[in-house]
Structure 1
Amino acid sequence: MLVIAHRGASGHCPENTLSAMEYALSLGAEAIELDVHCVEGELYVFHDRRLEYKSCGQGLIDQRSQNELSQITVLGEAIPTLWQVLQLVAGRAMVNIELKGVNTLAPLIAAYPRYLSELGFSAEQLLISSFNHRYLLQLRQALPHARIGVLFSGIPLDYDTTINAIQPYSLHLDINFISLDMLKCAQQLGIKTYAYTVDYIDDMHYLQQLGVDGIFCNFPDRAMHALAEPASADIPAANWFD
């Protein structure tokens, strides 16, 4: 089971910062997830649309200038650009880039070839995901060979239509809405399934038994250690949806 460091090693360090990414790599994480917003055409790594929740700044992140953003910190650490994070991680782990904010698609599409040619990533080492399925459909049309992950926050009525349209590499499923039917569908189609956010060991073992391919975890060291140990044979069934 793949352990994806959620916003870096965010259980140990300020999330989505360079220190969180570096610490995740030092722990042996094979994959890192991060979120991006667009500020004056540049992609910055930050989760929330508002700066107040996680930084010393105020207001909507995409309405700040790059100069203003350079003065704002997350527990004393700068908000990095996507390019800075990819420079740090290149050759060391797979990266899942979640398109979080508005106007993130165009700069991602424009910069994607440079991630491959200048930073040395392969298409297999970059996974682009979003809850905005319209973005993902446009991304599939613009970058036919890119790996795409479809994020779901619930159990949609028409997920099969979404899968057929986007042809994703992976489905990213809320652990509170794990659907056995969706898992079976993905497995039959050869689509990876990743669950978020999974920080409890019993949940990790439940999902492993179900055949889920990976988990997003704030404590990647905890997950890697737990999954390296054999699970109890008598783990009770969880309340997954049919």
Structure 2
Amino acid sequence: MPGIQKLFAGVMGVLLFGGILIPHGSEVDAANRPSPFLNIAHRGASGHAPENTFAAFDKAVKMKADFFELDVQRSKDGHLVVIHDITVDRTTNGTGRIADLTLKELKRLDAGSWFGSAFAGERIPTLKEVLDRYGGKGIGILIELKNPERYPGMEAEVALLLAQKNLDKRTSKIIVQSFNHDVMKNYHRLQPTVPAGVLVRYTPEGISDEALREFSAYADYVNPNLRLVNHDLVQRVHQNGMRITPYTIKTKNEAQRMIAAGVDGIITDYPELVTLR
């Protein structure tokens, strides 16, 4: 297993942000890793800007994250929109389910003020808008199909949009993932050239060898809850030819533990926890 060369060196102090201690000047040396370590900004740099907005994605770019992650659902009138919850209640000034609101109604909502007054007027983006702005332009995009069982055919719509944008190549820095593994099997059948990921929730029994073998038939990434991660799981994921980028890392100690276990990247609200450049 590659050793840790330097972990969170050059600490210049800490910033108390939202009750979480975040190190300044943190660094992880991944020079000896067999493949690039992925610093993935969760819902954009969501520790610093309202999640799943252009403000958060722009912040991820500025902080030199390798990818940003986003969540995709579908509006009442069939548009793929970028938002995490089933409803708009938590992250906007509106109420109601995504599936019951048209794109026009969703676009009227303020998706930034809940986070801070500096972000007033941020809007819910569509997936098309995000791909137009960032696709193929440096930073990668990790697309989560959110609640696809509520939106039949969502995986086909995402596959079609990626193809239309010429982002369906393995070199396009696009990854598609979901907790719904049957949907990801179908996505892989539809678009095998785009890397696929399986998200795995925490359960006390962990992830079996049988499950990993099944995942390896269609997935490139296993992205588990960080509580599942240890050196043994990382080794077993690698033995099955996949990479592992756990979610959601929010503290220095969590990042340190994941990197010590040998993961291939982390999904984090705070991209400054890992600096690879």
Q: TM-score when scaled to structure 1?
A: 0.85
Deviation at 1:156, TM superposition (A): 4.4
1:236 aligned partner: none
Correspondence list, 1:50-89, <5 A: 50-75=87-112, 76-89=121-134
Alpha-carbon contact 1:41-1:107 (below 8 Å) kept: no
Deviation at 1:177, TM superposition (A): 2.0
Q: How far apart are the structure 2 equivalents of 1:163 and 1:121?
A: 21
1:43 aligned partner: 80
Match of 1:198 among 241, 244, 249: 249
Q: Does 1:137 align with 2:185?
A: yes
2:21 aligned partner: none
Q: How far apart are the structure 2 equivalents of 1:126 and 1:59?
A: 30
Correspondence list, 1:29-178, <5 A: 29-39=65-75, 40-75=77-112, 76-90=121-135, 91-101=137-147, 102-103=150-151, 104-116=154-166, 122-124=169-171, 125-154=173-202, 155-157=206-208, 158-166=210-218, 168-178=219-229
Alpha-carbon contact 2:145-2:176 (below 8 Å) kept: yes
Distance 1:132 1:201, change over 3 A: same
User: Which stretch has the larger CA shift, 144-153 or 182-191?
Assistant: 182-191
CA RMSD of aligned residues (A): 1.8
Match of 1:2 among 28, 38, 53: 38
Deviation at 1:128, TM superposition (A): 0.2
- The residue identity in structure 2 corresponding to 1:123 is R
Tell me the secondary structure at the aligned position of residue 176 of structure 2.
strand
Which 4+ runs in 1 deviate beyond 4 A? Answer: none
- The residue identity in structure 1 corresponding to 2:104 is N
- The residue identity in structure 2 corresponding to 1:97 is I
Considering fraction of residues, name the structure with more strand.
1
Cα shift readout 1:3-24 (whole Å, capped 9, x = no counterpart): 1011011111110001110111
Q: How far apart are the structure 1 equivalents of 2:250 and 2:216?
A: 31
Alpha-carbon contact 1:169-1:191 (below 8 Å) kept: yes
Distance 1:63 1:199, change over 3 A: same
Q: How far apart are the structure 2 equivalents of 1:164 and 1:211?
A: 19
Considering fraction of residues, name the structure with more helix.
1
Q: How far apart are the structure 1 equivalents of 2:64 and 2:160?
A: 31
Q: TM-score when scaled to structure 2?
A: 0.75
Cα shift readout 1:218-237 (whole Å, capped 9, x = no counterpart): 1112x124x78xxxxxxxxx
Q: Percent of pairs identical after alignment?
A: 29
Tell me the secondary structure at the aligned position of residue 94 of structure 2.
coil
- The residue identity in structure 2 corresponding to 1:95 is I
Q: How far apart are the structure 2 equivalents of 1:169 and 1:115?
A: 22
Alpha-carbon contact 1:16-1:47 (below 8 Å) kept: yes
Distance 1:108 1:121, change over 3 A: closer
Correspondence list, 1:182-221, <5 A: 182-221=233-272
Q: How far apart are the structure 1 equivalents of 2:232 and 2:260?
A: 15
- The residue identity in structure 1 corresponding to 2:42 is H
Count of aligned pairs between the two proteins: 222
